[in-house]
Amino acid sequence: MDNKEFEQLYKRYAPMLYRTAYRMVKNDADALDIVQDAFIRIFNSFTKFRNEANVQTWMYRIVMNLCYDYFRKRKKVLFVSERDISDYDNNQQLPSDDNVEKIADLENQRKQNLQIALDKLTLRQRTVFNLRIYDELSYEDISKIMNIKIGTAKATFFQAVEKLKIIMKEMEKNELR
């Protein structure tokens, strides 16, 4: 693989792979490191992989494996601190109209709840959820990336969504008390 070809591949896929890694590790610097490591692996083994149709799936799999390595190495419990969320949301604040603020607050609250609920999913459930909802990959691609059956991917997605709904419902109940 020559450098020009690699540069094109990098510019096309790096932002996408970064978003995927970020959703898993919830940290900008770590997600960027994962993307870098992924591209080093891609560069070193691209000659073995010539089937263009599956390049994207193959790259996703590399990123996911690196994310799993990251969790294994650091034994890190996925948790986004409330400060991180509020810092980010503060930058996204809407104009100071009362109604708009209330809606924004509700929306932000829901996002925070969802973030906390997502952290309560198993690693496999979160991976399938992220790949399906954010990356909009087919169950076939997800099954290839995660090396599982299509049926398992679908069942895992179903379990993830149901679990999220239950957790969020519980959280909303607690807020109303």
Partner 1 sequence: MNCDRVKQKLVFYVDGSLSETERNEISQHLKQCDTCEADYRTTVEMVESARKMKIPEHDDMFWNVHYQMTMSRIEQKHHRRTLIKTLKLASGVIGVLLLFFVSRSYIEKSKPENFVSMPVGISDIAYNILYNILPSDKLPIPVEQLQNVVDLLEPEDHMIILTELLR
Using CB under 8 A, list all residues that contact partner 1: 3, 7, 10-11, 14-15, 18-19, 22-23, 28, 32, 35-36, 39-40, 43-44, 88, 92, 107, 110-111, 114-115, 118, 129, 132-134, 138-139, 154, 157-158, 161-162, 164-165, 168-169
Tokens of 58: 């193959």
- Give the nearest distance from C-beta 74 to partner 1 in angstroms: 20
Q: Tell me whether residue 10 or residue 68 sits nearer to partner 1 (CB atom).
A: 10
Nearest to 163 by CA among 109, 115, 125: 125
Whole-angstrom distance, CA of residue 111 vs CA of residue 8: 35
The contacts of residue 49 (CB under 8 Å, 6+ apart) are 55, 58
Q: How far apart are CA 123 and CA 96, in angstroms?
A: 39
Whether 127 contacts 146, CB under 8 Å: yes
- 55 or 161, CB closer to partner 1? 161
Q: Which is nearer to partner 1, 106 or 123 (CB)?
A: 106
Q: What's the closest the beta carbon of residue 155 comes to partner 1, in angstroms?
A: 10
Say which residues have a Cβ less than 8 Å from residue 27's Cβ, sequence separation at least 6.
none
CB of 54 vs partner 1, minimal distance in Å:
20
For the bound state, the minimum distance from the C-beta of residue 15 to partner 1, rounded and expressed in Å, comes to 6
